[in-house]
Structure 1
């Protein structure tokens, strides 16, 4: 009597790299869908007055915390895939900086933002107390967003060195716009225009991550 063995499926380094880069394609749409879904359904949440981080407060706040964790893990996976698919100028630091963005997202889940601007419902509109966890969230944002901005600029240098001028311009513009939006958020003292612009910048940042991961996945 003979037995038939199941075929052994071997994962090649190329397949692994493509899988890791696919994580970067998923991260942004997933994060944005969960964020906007909550923005549309959470009582008292106003997307022009409340940044996404505030969604981590209240009874359903765990949803946004999980959203941060999933986005963090997918972003770190994408950074590893980027490292495996790059060589030459910027190939060491660009993945590390993108990984820093993932670390910032993870820290944002560990240190949720303080309630504020009337959210969750029952929070005073002028509530501005900063707790230890709120300070931790501020540090998390600084680490993550600085990493993303720097990753854009280093990737721009990488693309220039490889003659991919279109991708270099795209990366530069994304980094500069995100920096401007982040600086405006810090200086805007919760003004609707700065919160709205920053929300748009977050979507642009995730779109850039998806785009470069797709580009490297095609060429890997």
Structure 2
């Protein structure tokens, strides 16, 4: 009787040890089942379909991160395109003037305010969008002013001299800012010219030609003298 009792006790202790180890392992181990095949225990079915399943662990959730909202995905794609324009030398004022919706103007303002590469900025904009969606679900939509539009209006007011006592008198600060923008545009055009002379693939040459044309248009629209 003692050997049988010893064997039974050994089986019981082995089973308990396997259950404890199986429940303490993270990730994949928690998703496995435990089978008794005669006097042994294993994490796969017994040969020939014999044996008994002792424990079934539920599969852990693959990810607790909610899927991206479709609107946030679209906003991220829009941001990525605008980052390309920014890196190509397009000015924020021009991008704001070409934006057709308040959301596009907001994306422009965010892109020019953030630092980092295209992927980092896109992910930050998508993350902020998801945070806004979550806040709307909890507290409801909130009315917000179009900050980019207000910024654009303020820039126009500074250029046209609205609410100024003497609109005919030039603003030295505005003139200096404009001159700095003109100098930057000229540097970009010279750099693109040099890149075109250096040559490259057909795609590179086409991109450089488009960027040069856009920069020259911005130079003209800003009223810079050649």
* Alignment TM-score, normalising by the size of structure 2: 0.31
Of structures 1 and 2, the one scoring higher in RCO (CA 8 A, sep 6+) is 1
Which has more strand, going by share of residues? 2
- Report which of the two has the higher share of helix: 1
Q: Kindly name which structure, 1 or 2, has the bigger radius of gyration based on alpha carbons.
A: 2
Please report the TM-score for the alignment, with normalisation by the length of structure 1: 0.32
